[in-house]
Structure 1
């Protein structure tokens, strides 16, 4: 007896009794399990025999009920684990979703300082009192809207809610003030806009940095166009950048959905210096090609630190465009004469000369440090014929982005001191975007190539030339 006793056993009789009881319970479970297995095997043998008899006699009886292989009703209580009842309960997966409810009040945000005023709102830097996060607070301009809530504000909210992309500014929520016309958009705050950065920089971006910026802007634009959204006001002041080298497209006041074929749209869109020639010539139908023209203007501005085409008015803007690209003709831009404002153009006699490339390359003297691939890309983006411009997806696949120097990783992108936290961003004589509902003037471009301003019966006024009937 003493030999079989474990050296770890307790000499206490009560403990020995408990151990013995556990051994007996374990042995009883083993016997019960063996008996249950024997019954199952006997039942299976009987079922197989009955099935063979039925198949021999050609009698097809009712299907056998599927045997229960686990959690049987006759299972002993000792075999049921304690958490078996919990496992039987179905667990529902719950995901956090936003619920319908009233907008928060603007008093939940502490306004820190004013940043700038745009065509469709005032932008301030603010802090969320609940979380302490710094955000951008944009108050929509509603005071002068005769039709109630401005359609520009509705489009901006709608498109921002649909455009969830890494290179599009993130709309967090819409909050209200004390009055019905106090509507604010709460967006992520970014330290810089490219226009202010270019004005403050002593030297332009490096070629590798320009590629990084362009890839992000065109990447965001490719997503917008895939969602059938045109921005219609791309410019450097609407491209925001944080101190992690991330670029985000902002200011969707003029954005809108389009279709195929494109519907009749407002002519007076896009800030003048970034406006495509077909818009200046009065096109009533246009597509995402006008955004790609703006990308070409931004590309040139990144290269030179100055806006590429700084027209004083619409007539002067057309003159500067044709001075860069050369005059249009039916070979490089078929059908341009059918545009309303193109009828007054008096083209020079040598404008019909054909070019060896389609679209023609821009003058190398304007971009002396750009590679051949880069010159080809900016020439395609600034093609007079909208059909010759690449799409955003084609632009992303251009060889310019694959040649050396390669795009600089965002992680090592240079950082710049933020002006938004200390003072207003200075406006450097950049023309404002057109106001919604403003009618496009009827323009006379007879003097673009050296004729009398306004033509024989015209006069100059309000920044453009009017044709007098």
Structure 2
């Protein structure tokens, strides 16, 4: 029987020959593919012998090794030593890898405190001892603060943890820079290494013959409020702002320091301890027992610092909590429901005996007496009065304070580069201890206070009780 005829073929013998040729080529390609596959399977069964200069092919002949995917971190030795010839005859330059490397933070052991040479003691604070020291490796002068960890059976003190955490998070030109944490020979020898600044504002004000100029006050206040605005934007309250915690160098730069009482907060503010902030800079709602508060307490402290820059003396120097409330109300006037709604609900306000008053002063908050600040402009008095408002709800935020008209009127803030320099007490000898109340100690219970003698009652008597780190005299 004859072979089947293609339906595409005609009776032309030339066309039939072409079709038959294509069929033979197709069968030859198929046989070659099967043969190649058999050779590949045989090579997998036994490893081929390597030649001196390359891999052994399936036919027993040398062939170059197969290519592999090159990883980015592979470095070819031939590339690292290759030289590129130059047309002008000069020696070629060494090829460099194009791999980009980025610095990353790594966990490691802390350095030992012996890497620093202590130069002199500066001051003892509420939560540590501060010394001036020199880094032996670099020769840089730094501030070395040893944390107070003794008598802490519960482990590492939370004040130290908060200070380290907030300083690491608060990277700002007007916040002191924490470089590293170093250790001593014992577990309770923990030191914070920070930038050294020549002055603290309290010591500087005490040593100056004349107060700062109005233009200098504006520059200092803008820097302090600028650093505080950054903290508040990160939901951090300082809770111990005072002139001794403001450090200044000889270039007119001022930085916030001592974050032992700093705390994260939220909205609405959580229930917190009322025993915070050094007495002279403590807001009235804290003195009256408020346990829910926010950054308004820092703004009250800014107002106290503002007044201290104007007069060279702390604005409200109470001997105890009762005397402090008396001095606050003597400056701002007594509270009432129009000026401070709801103040009667505070725990310690129930004992206040508010004297009957005439019509309240215009404005909320009312302006402070002009006689206390005779050289302050109207805009400056308005800013100071709002910062020292009894009602925390009407105090300006740090951001609002930065845009106040006081900083835009003449005289304008002085450039930092134009600030005068002063002899450094911190760099020469031990600082003289000033008569300033200490910050409250953590864990100390707030005393129950009786403010019945604040307005027109008996004079503060001679009987005393122990308060928040100072003598509490009750009537």
Rg larger for: 2
Q: Where do 1:127-142 residues align within 5 Å? A: 127-142=134-149
Partners of 1:344 and 1:460 in 2: CA distance: 18
SS in 2 for 1:349: coil
Segment drifting more, 96-105 vs 317-326: 96-105
Query: Is structure 2 residue 438 aligned with structure 1 residue 432?
Result: yes
Give how far 1:451 is off.
1.3
Partners of 1:109 and 1:98 in 2: CA distance: 23
**Corresponding residue to 2:169 among 162, 167, 184:** 162
User: Which consecutive aligned stretches of 4+ in structure 1 deviate over 6 angstroms post-superposition?
Assistant: none
Tell me what 1:461 maps to.
Answer: 465
CA deviation vs aligned residue, 1:117-175 (integer Å, no higher than 9, x gap): 00000000000000000000000000022311100000000000000000000000000
Partners of 1:233 and 1:253 in 2: CA distance: 8
Segment drifting more, 314-323 vs 98-107: 98-107
TM-score normalised by the chain length of structure 2: 0.78
SS in 2 for 1:154: helix
Partners of 2:341 and 2:106 in 1: CA distance: 53
**Corresponding residue to 2:304 among 288, 297, 302:** 297
CA deviation vs aligned residue, 1:199-234 (integer Å, no higher than 9, x gap): 000000000000000000000000000000000000
Partners of 1:131 and 1:404 in 2: CA distance: 44
Give how far 1:461 is off.
2.4
Partners of 2:276 and 2:373 in 1: CA distance: 28
The number of aligned residues is 382
Q: Where do 1:285-434 residues align within 5 Å? A: 285-350=292-357, 353-434=359-440
Query: Is structure 2 residue 453 aligned with structure 1 residue 450?
Result: no
Partners of 2:148 and 2:279 in 1: CA distance: 21
Give how far 1:96 is off.
2.1
Task: Tell whether the 8 Å contact from 1:228 to 1:259 is kept in structure 2 after alignment.
Answer: yes
RMSD: 2.1
Tell me what 1:26 maps to.
Answer: none
Give how far 1:454 is off.
8.1
SS in 2 for 1:122: strand
Task: Tell whether the 8 Å contact from 2:274 to 2:290 is kept in structure 1 after alignment.
Answer: yes
Q: Which runs of 5+ in 1 are unaligned?
A: 1-80
Partners of 1:381 and 1:326 in 2: CA distance: 15
Query: Is structure 2 residue 224 aligned with structure 1 residue 217?
Result: yes
SS in 1 for 2:191: strand
Query: Is structure 2 residue 238 aligned with structure 1 residue 231?
Result: yes
**Corresponding residue to 1:100 among 107, 129, 142:** 107
Task: Tell whether the 8 Å contact from 1:443 to 1:464 is kept in structure 2 after alignment.
Answer: no
Task: Tell whether the 8 Å contact from 2:177 to 2:195 is kept in structure 1 after alignment.
Answer: yes
Partners of 2:115 and 2:260 in 1: CA distance: 25
SS in 1 for 2:145: strand
Partners of 1:125 and 1:459 in 2: CA distance: 42
Partners of 1:158 and 1:259 in 2: CA distance: 17
CA deviation vs aligned residue, 1:170-214 (integer Å, no higher than 9, x gap): 000000000000000000000000000000000000000000000
Give how far 1:91 is off.
2.7
